[in-house]
Amino acid sequence: MELNNIKRVYLVGIGGIGMSGLARYFHHLGCVVCGYDKTSTDLTNDLHNEGIQIIFDDRPDWIPYAFQTPDEGTLIIYTPAIPKDSAILNFFKNNGFELFKRSQVLGIISKSMFTVAVAGTHGKTTTSTMVAHILTDSGKDCSAFLGGLSTNYHSNVLYGKNNIVVVEADEYDRSFLTLYPDVAIITSMDADHLDIYGDHAHLTDSFKMFASQIKPGGTLIHKKGLALDSGFTYAVEAEADATASNIRIENGDFYFDFKNSQSSITNIKMGIAGTHNIENAVAAIEACLILEVSPDAIKSALESFRGVHRRFEYVIKNDHQIFIDDYAHHPEELKAAIKSVKRLYPGKKLTTIFQPHLYTRTRDFADGFAEALDLSDELIILDIYPARELPIEGVNADMILERMKLENKRRISKQDVLAVIKEEKPELLLTVGAGDIDTLVQPLKHILENV
């Protein structure tokens, strides 16, 4: 596929965060961009307002005429999350079109560019967005394909004028193996996506394969303790090639000092909260130093970094109430989010609302979820969000509750949560999950601001 020949792009599953980034990218290049998705969302509304035509009925007869016959100017992209029996997907398959996965297209786009790829079972979205912001804010510049909406840029894609691209490297479905980066960051390799990999060992093997694809002369940066044989290590308050120390909270803001063998940056003020985000920052700093961004420019950029939508995002922050929303959907992510909230507000009672994501993940990590959620003072758990999965007999949210030691816990339907929160008015609220719990955020905000 030659990118220069592409004039028309159709995306099957255009509403996904990665797919929408590609839609914006090709629209920016002047291509005619259209797509299909199952449901309308704020993100698809944004794409529509930007001039991208989207349909929400799985009907091939609604596909624009320009996409009815294959030619070298037409590109069809699909996401593996689309059901195999999708009528639109099968129309393209059965009519001679060559279909490309999102990850394949990302690999082709980045192939001729200096690529910084950030992988990990958690931490990759914030870290890649942080790298992109430092490069942009410092004037070094870059393009970027991100797995979340950057708060600074209100987008999941950046259009740089140079040859540097930052990409989030997704391990789901082994997608990141289409990438051959110059600089690779691996933030974590915890067991996840076992419905794809079968066991942790196969997941680890894929990460090792990703690391082996770094271009000759390139650099691997990874969290200390991962099962990787080479590269630069980083850590928080521990020995590594790059470290964060002197971590402290002043007036609600996190500060730390950075040091590696060649540079030290003191008194860095973080624009976002959380010890886990300091860990992400250490990796981002190391990558940007390799790209010859000055320590002063890095320090300034981290202070102005406002994070990613749904990554430890403040919804309400005043003297009476704190409401934080986070995408955490893995036990380690939950631990990081809850510990950071407790560290910031040690005198307040924390109420956590959690929506489990996927039946397989709930089954595989029920013990880990229970241990992480026990760190809360009060837990409200919602029913499992199934996403792409069918129910598994005996697997439900109660699996987690039964394993917890916390006494103040209960399962409530998504429909009843608003009434409960209106009555109880928690002073410190955390919503976590990767399903559709985000649709509760604005109603919860409205309730808490008007009680």
| Cα dihedral 148, 150, 154, 159 sign | negative
Q: What residue numbers bound the domain in which 386 lies?
A: 313-449
Same domain membership, residue 126 and residue 23:
no
**Residue 192: band (very low, low, confident or very high) from pLDDT cuts 50, 70, 90:** confident
Of 282, 304, 326, the residue that ends a domain is 304
- What phi and psi values does residue 133 have, to the nearest 5 degrees? -70, -45
Domain membership of residue 108 (yes or no) is no
Q: What is the dihedral of CA 76, 77, 79, 84, to 10 degrees?
A: 20
Domain membership of residue 107 (yes or no) is no
Assigned token pair, 389: 């999965």
Q: What is the pLDDT of residue 193?
A: 65
**Residue 170: band (very low, low, confident or very high) from pLDDT cuts 50, 70, 90:** confident
Taking 80 as the threshold, does the pLDDT of residue 114 lie above it? yes
The pLDDT of 328-352, averaged and rounded, is: 95
Taking 90 as the threshold, does the pLDDT of residue 118 lie above it? yes
Share of the chain above pLDDT 90, in %: 88
The pLDDT of 105-126, averaged and rounded, is: 94
Taking 70 as the threshold, does the pLDDT of residue 236 lie above it? yes
Taking 80 as the threshold, does the pLDDT of residue 367 lie above it? yes
- What phi and psi values does residue 308 have, to the nearest 5 degrees? -130, 140
Same domain membership, residue 268 and residue 144:
yes
Mean pLDDT, the chain, integer: 94
Amino acid at the residue 298: I
In this prediction the pTM is 0.90
Share of the chain above pLDDT 70, in %: 99
257-305: per-residue pLDDT in tens?
999 999 999 999 999 999 999 999 999 999 999 999 999 999 999 999 9
How many structural domains does the chain have? 3
Amino acid at the residue 208: K
Of 254, 276, 304, the residue that ends a domain is 304
Amino acid at the residue 396: N
The pLDDT of 395-406, averaged and rounded, is: 97
Q: What is the pLDDT of residue 190?
A: 83
The pLDDT of 39-43, averaged and rounded, is: 90
Cβ neighbours of residue 241 closer than 8 Å, sequence gap 6 or more: 232, 233, 234, 260, 261, 286
**Residue 371: band (very low, low, confident or very high) from pLDDT cuts 50, 70, 90:** very high
Same domain membership, residue 163 and residue 236:
yes
More confident residue, 338 or 193: 338
Pair 233, 223: CB distance under 8 Å: yes
Of 78, 101, 124, the residue that ends a domain is 101
- What phi and psi values does residue 148 have, to the nearest 5 degrees? -160, 170
The CATH number assigned to the domain holding 373 equals 3.90.190.20
DSSP-derived secondary structure letter, 3: G
The CATH number assigned to the domain holding 212 equals 3.40.1190.10
